[in-house]
Amino acid sequence: MRMIAFLFFMSAVGLLVPPCAAQESDEWVMVPATLVDSEPGQPSDVQTVHTTALAEYVRGVVASIERDEGLAALTLSLIHDDELVLTEGFGLADIESGQPVRPDETLFRIGSVSKTFTWTAVMMLVERGMLDLDTDINEYLDGLEVREAFGEPVTLRHLMHHRGGFEDSMQLFAVADDDPRTLSELLAAHQPRRVFPPGARTSYSNWASALAAQLVEDVSGVGYGEFLQTEILDPLGMRDTTALPPSQMDEATRARLATGYKRRHGAFDLQGFMQIGAYWPAGGMASTATDMARWMRFHLNGGQLDGVRLLDDDTHERMWTRGFNDRPEGADVAHGFQDRPYRGLRTLGHGGGTAAFLTQMVMVPELGLGIFLSYNSTHTSLPFRALPDLIIDHVIDHRWQPVLAEHDEEAAKALSELAGTYLNNRRVFSSFAAVFGVMNAARVTPMTADSITLESAGQSNYLRRLSGDVFEAADGQRVSFVRNEAGHIVALADGMGVHSAERVGWFRNPNTFFLALGLAGFLALTSTLGAWRNLGRGVSGGFASRMAGAGVLVGVLSVTALIGGIVALIIDMAEFDVSQMSEAYPSAEMFFTHYAGWSVAIAAGLMLLAQWPAWSGSAWGIFRRLHFALFTLAMLFLTVMLWQWRVIGAPVI
């Protein structure tokens, strides 16, 4: 489900055990040289890779990450040409008992990698003629209907490419595992607004992915869980993969599930498991590294494993073909699979994150390579982000190429149309949670005629033009700019393929919200200091002055309450545990900030009315009147911003 990035350091001495249950094949494999970077003078026909050396390289990289990033445990499987090259466990699945990770036994929750099973089930029904990718999904749904919008229906092709146009929803994560509601009932209760026309934007949607599982259920006539077990897991021999949440596992299965951890006081503390109830098809499965190796082999073999075929070659090829081709050189989605170009290769797979686990699955069909990893803490995203790419770099013998940042202000004007702020489209639009989107912006700055910087989440990346509107960083990650029919830049597609960010002007820029808040806060502070300065002077301006003073007072109190609410909300979110979301969402701080926002709107209205006595009958000087007028304008401006970001004028839930 959501992807997290935290970087902390902890020594792992005393917590780690020797790698266990390692399996590998000791053989040479051949990789076409057209798929690798070759040094001058090297043979150009083939590139040889020794799988034992590859396994040792992976162990070394994991050991370094394990120590430097302070991992509790990691499980990994690596396949090449339908052979299991390495399956290994690192660290402790449970620190208290000293239980090591066993890759063929220890279960890790795989988060949104669960979606790849849903998309495979959809394609199985497409192959049987029971589903059509371009038919209105309402024709298949039983007891649920996607609301009309934009005069266009939503199809399975839209759902599978995260282009249904749905806003994001926080409510999915607020469903307890013991919630009695069915998936159909939850989907109906939490149906998000459609904010983009179908196909127009890529915006990752857990709700839409769960809706696809409901389609499988309604069309097949059996529960999605039963379809998954009998039609996919059992035939493929994936006996160690389960859809049960931890609270519903039997004692033996629960004992095999890795304990979740979070960083606390420089060490580890227990982390509760995320709960999503009947939404589990979107991210609730658990598996072993060995079972997931079978899943990768199945897909790299074009829909068959060890003589068992679930998809025809043509159907599987169709699944791994992009349904939209508006950024062929950039990252996108191929019927549910993240489709990411990397070092001239095509990678397909999916990532997943829950409260206690981060998981990554990457397949490179051209190399016959499959990489699966999962670990039981989310304080660092380094293995999730970097480990698969490092393995690919090793296989193709790619050497790191450092880049010098250049800046030519005059030449950079050639890319001026790209400059600006881009706001992530994976966000809430219609409730209080929309305000969290202010932290989800990126800034693009042209550097030369062929390079830009992309600043996001406090980090900056330097990218050079690859071709057209596609730019690539030194680490191989690409971003693509999206144009409208008139040829104007309107959005930015990320390097993961599942997100886009809308180019926004001054009014929708998060900085404008912070400007309004800061201006109102500053004027409230100066008003308070002015009142304190005049305190005790015994000067009375009569009724008009008191009315104007009351207007200032309500403004100061309301802004103070709002800022206090925002600070409390930030503290609450910093300490927020997503595993407790079913009990704590929406939080008391959200409600307080919401009502404080309304107090600002009311105060702005009262201050506007108080302008009459301030200017017509009070004994105030001109400076004090101008200050009050400016304070009033700032309050009105802040009210507009609070409405824009749904702090007010929208439900909290």
* pLDDT above 60 for 336: yes
The Cα-based distances of 491 to 107, 439, 627 in angstroms read 39, 17, 40
CA 585 to chain centre: 19
Mind listing the pLDDT tens digit for each residue in 400-416?
A: 999 999 999 999 999 99
* pLDDT above 60 for 38: no
pLDDT of res. 45: 38
pLDDT of res. 11: 27
* pLDDT above 60 for 6: no
Mind listing the pLDDT tens digit for each residue in 206-243?
A: 999 999 999 999 999 999 999 999 999 999 999 999 99
pLDDT of res. 543: 87
Measured from the Cβ of residue 188, the count of other Cβ atoms closer than 10 Å reads 15
- The C-alpha atoms of residue 282 and residue 336 are separated, in whole angstroms, by 12
Measured from the Cβ of residue 142, the count of other Cβ atoms closer than 10 Å reads 12
Average pLDDT over every residue of 593-616: 96
Q: Work out whether the CA dihedral 338, 129, 294, 233 comes out positive or negative.
A: positive
Confidence of residue 339 (pLDDT cuts 50, 70, 90): very high
Of 35-49, 109-123, 456-470, give the lowest mean pLDDT range: 35-49
CA 7 to chain centre: 17
Confidence of residue 42 (pLDDT cuts 50, 70, 90): very low
Percent residues over pLDDT 90 in the chain: 84
Q: Which residues of 82-95 are buried (b: 16+ CB within 10 A; e: fewer)?
A: eebbbbbbbbbbbb
Percent residues over pLDDT 70 in the chain: 91
CB of 289 closer than 8 Å to CB of 89? yes
Provide the mean pLDDT of the chain.
90
Look up residue 571 and give its amino acid: I
- The C-alpha atoms of residue 188 and residue 255 are separated, in whole angstroms, by 35
The helix/strand/coil state of 502 is strand
CB of 382 closer than 8 Å to CB of 69? yes
| 32, β-bridge pairs | 46
pLDDT of res. 537: 62
pLDDT of res. 4: 32
* pLDDT above 60 for 314: yes
* pLDDT above 80 for 636: yes
- The C-alpha atoms of residue 142 and residue 135 are separated, in whole angstroms, by 15
Phi and psi at 449, nearest 5°, equal: -70, -15
Q: Classify strands 308-309 and 478-483 as parallel, antiparallel or unpaired.
A: unpaired
CB of 469 closer than 8 Å to CB of 484? no
- The C-alpha atoms of residue 490 and residue 492 are separated, in whole angstroms, by 7
Mind listing the pLDDT tens digit for each residue in 524-544?
A: 999 999 888 777 565 556 888
pLDDT of res. 574: 81
Task: Give the pTM.
Answer: 0.90
- The C-alpha atoms of residue 629 and residue 610 are separated, in whole angstroms, by 10
